[in-house]
Amino acid sequence: MLWLALSAFFLWLALREIYFGFVPRSGFDRPNPSISVGYVLTTLGIAAALAYTPIRYWQFERFLTLIARQLSESPKAYVHCNSFIDSVLDTNVFAAGHADLETGRIVLQHPWCGELMDHLANPKAATPKGIHSVHLLTHETMHIRGEMNEAKTDCQGVQRYARAAKLLGIDDELAQQHGEINYNGTYKQRGAIGGMAGQYFSIDCAPGRALDERLSDSIWR
């Protein structure tokens, strides 16, 4: 919001310069005879630059909301990307994301939406953070389905990784590969680390075990 407010201010400066080229200022008989083109172009350029990132993220939130609704099968799911300031002020500042079952609101903390955006721009050059960003979105979306137990939620996300990645536009083969990397890497490491990370892990999150939902498009099939 801060960037959009600043953008609006610079847009106003540009429009004011143009306006007084046609309408006299109070106390003057005639309009400003020479509008400063350089000033107008500079202020318009600053306004556009300030608005670019918020608008890009707003469009990305709309895209992620469509994906979250398909994954959760809930029309009330919607995704919000926290800015750095949002994240600092968030009551769940230490969580990478959180979801509210009642409202359907999914929040991804800074910089996870950016990580996901970069990942989708070039999934072949995937980084561990990029791969995890898909899992994070999927995990939070599973909460909107009604599951609040973290280990069960994370396992639902693990199994739906490829489904989520494909909905996000990643090709089938890469989606499956990244899903396996996510499960065999980050997910299993959580079990080994234990503690806070361990609450997201279950030994039963494995093919044929209690948390296997036997989905036709699971990464385990």
Choice between 59 and 92, CB closer to Zn ion:
92
Choice between 95 and 174, CB closer to Zn ion:
95
Residues 66-95 that bind Zn ion (CB under 5 A): none
Choice between 127 and 199, CB closer to Zn ion:
199
* Interface segment toward Zn ion; rule CB under 5 A; list 57-65, 83-91, 107-115, 145-153: 145-153
* DSSP annotation of 30: S
Burial 193-214 (b: 16+ CB within 10 A, else e): eeeeeeebbbeebeeeeebeee
* DSSP annotation string for 33-78: SS--HHHHHHHHHHHHHHHHHHHHHHHHHHHHHHHHHHHHT-TT-E
CB of 83 to Zn ion, least distance (A): 21
Beta strands in the chain (DSSP E): 78-81, 97-99, 105-108
Choice between 115 and 154, CB closer to Zn ion:
154
How far is it, in rounded angstroms, from Cα 38 to Cα 32? 15
* Interface segment toward Zn ion; rule CB under 5 A; list 11-19, 144-152, 170-178, 207-215: 144-152
Residues 149-168 that bind Zn ion (CB under 5 A): 150
* Binding footprint of Zn ion on the chain (CB under 5 A): 150
